Each structure stands twice: as structure tokens, then as C-alpha cells.
Amino acid sequence: MPAFSAAGALTLLLFGFGLGWELRSRARPAQPGSSNIAASSFGLENFRINGISRVAPDPQTGEVRITLDAERRVTLQGSLDDPRIQQVLVYAVKSYDNAGIRRDTLDALRPRASNPYFRQALLYAMRQDRNPGVRLEALDAVRGLEWDPDTRRAFLDLLEHDANPGLRIAAIDELVKHADQEVLAALGQLAAKDSSRFVRLKCATAIRDIEAK
């Protein structure tokens, strides 16, 4: 999974909404000062971003403030409906190297977790983030959402491959609500061979409960 260092030589250059993030090998020196800018009036084209200092959702207004370190420090503020805000937040969840920022970004996305764009980012974090605390936060954010094939596959992958037994148990709790033959087969395999005794017992209990229904 790619990781981008805010202190490294690489910087990020954003070409509009649709073209995504592109790496550049050299950064221009930062300039002193900072600005507060509404995201709706801010052009991200050709804007070099060296790091993200803060992601702060406002539960009262539904807006998000994102502090970026670029040619100068800039704070973007706007709605989660704004494509500029969405793009920075999804980048932060998937690729930013600071676990605290990734966790704060999950909190910002949580109220709109049912949004397909955000849900894919949350499922990605649940499966791929290298910090188990962030993976657990992402799991909690998608818990209870509409059960679609992508969500089902993500929870099965978590059950079968996550190194943290606590996360595997959390995946079991969600999967038993939507049990089918594939889920039963996965539970059966882990009941027989999982490295954690507690996970094996949890799987065996889940199988009995499902079959008793």
C-alpha cells in the first residue's frame, strides 16, 4: 500500500478533480503565513501539497476544515458534498502516512458512510490500513450499512486475512448477521485452524447459532 511522507522529497500535485494525485520529484520551498479558504472557491489545479496537518469535522454544520501544508499553510473549509473536500479526505484515508490524521478523517467521513465513494474508502481502510486501531475505526464506520457484495467481500477478507484477532472477532459479529454458505465455510475453516483459541471458539459458536436458526 503506498505511503506518502509529508517530510520527504516527494510532493503531491493535484490536477483537477478527475485526474487524481500525481507525484512530482521536487517541491518548491514553503512560504510563511497561512490562509483560510472556502473549498468551493479554491482551485486545486497545480496546487502542491506537502502534508496534511489537521482534519476537523464540525458535527453542527456538517462541514470539514482541512489544514494543508503547501506553498503556504492553507485551511480548506467546506461541505462533504464538495468534490475538492471529498478528494482530499479520500486521499488522506487511503494514503496519508499519519495514523492520527487517517483516524480523524474517518470521523469526518462517518456521517456520510453510505455515500458509495466514501464507503469504498472506508472498506479500503478496514482491509488495508497498517494500523489496527484505524482498521477497527473503519469497521465501526461501515457497521450496519447496506449489505452489498463489496461490503460482504471486505468482511470476509478481514475474517480470513487480518493479523489482529480482535478484528477477526469483530468481523465474525458482523458476518453472522448475513450468514450464507460461503460465510459458514469460512467460519468452519477458522474454527479448525485459526491461530487464536478465542477466534476458534467464536467461530464454532457462530456456526452453531447459525445452524440452529
Q: Do both 73 and 108 map to the same domain?
A: yes
| 181 burial via Cβ count (<10 Å: 0-12, 13-18, 19+) | exposed
Domain match, 188 and 121 both = no
Do residues 74 and 128 both lie within one domain? Answer: yes
Q: Does 155 share its domain with 182? A: yes
Per-residue pLDDT at 36? 52
Percentage of residues of the chain with pLDDT beyond 90:
60
| Residue at a domain's end among 96, 111, 144 | 144
Of 144, 173, 190, the domain-final residue:
144
* Phi–psi pair at 35, nearest 5 degrees: -140, 150
Reported as a pLDDT band with limits 50, 70 and 90, residue 197 is very high
Instruction: Find which of 21-25, 68-72, 80-84 is predicted with most confidence, using mean pLDDT.
Output: 80-84
* Shared-domain flag, residues 83 and 108: yes
pLDDT at 212 over 90: no
3 and 97 housed in the same domain: yes
Backbone angles phi, psi at 61, to 5 degrees: -100, -20
Gap between the Cα atoms of 95 and 83, Å rounded: 18
Is it the case that residue 115 has pLDDT exceeding 90?
yes
Quote the radius of gyration of the chain (alpha carbons, Å): 20
Same domain, 96 and 201: no
84 shares a domain with 151:
no
**What is the tally of structural domains in the chain?**
2
Closest-CA residue to 104 (of 52, 51, 55, 142): 55
Determine the Cα–Cα distance for residues 154 and 186; give it in Å rounded to an integer.
13
| 63-70 sheet: strands from edge to edge | 21-24, 11-14, 47-57, 63-70, 73-79, 34-38
The CATH number linked to 156 is: 1.25.10
Task: Average the pLDDT over 162-183 and give the result.
Answer: 95
The amino acid present at 97, given as its one-letter code, is D
Q: Which of 68-77, 131-140, 177-186 has the lowest mean pLDDT?
A: 68-77
Residues 109 and 84 in one domain: yes
Q: Is the pLDDT score of 15 beyond 70?
A: no
Average pLDDT estimate for 31-60:
63
Mean of pLDDT values over 162-187: 96
> Are 155 and 212 found together in one domain?
yes
Q: Within this chain, do residues 181 and 207 fall inside the same structural domain, yes or no?
A: yes
Q: In a 3-state reduction of DSSP, which class is residue 161?
A: helix
- pLDDT at residue 27 greater than cutoff 70: no
Which pLDDT score is estimated for 60? 86
pLDDT (mean) for 135-151: 94
Q: Which of 123, 144, 165 is the last residue of a domain?
A: 144
Distance CA 84, CA 139 (A): 25
Query: In the prediction, which pLDDT does 49 show?
Result: 66
Is 47 in a helix, a strand, or coil? strand
Query: Is 70 exceeded by the pLDDT of residue 125?
Result: yes
Instruction: Give residue 70's Cα distance to chain centre.
Output: 23
Q: Which residues span the domain enclosing 11?
A: 1-144
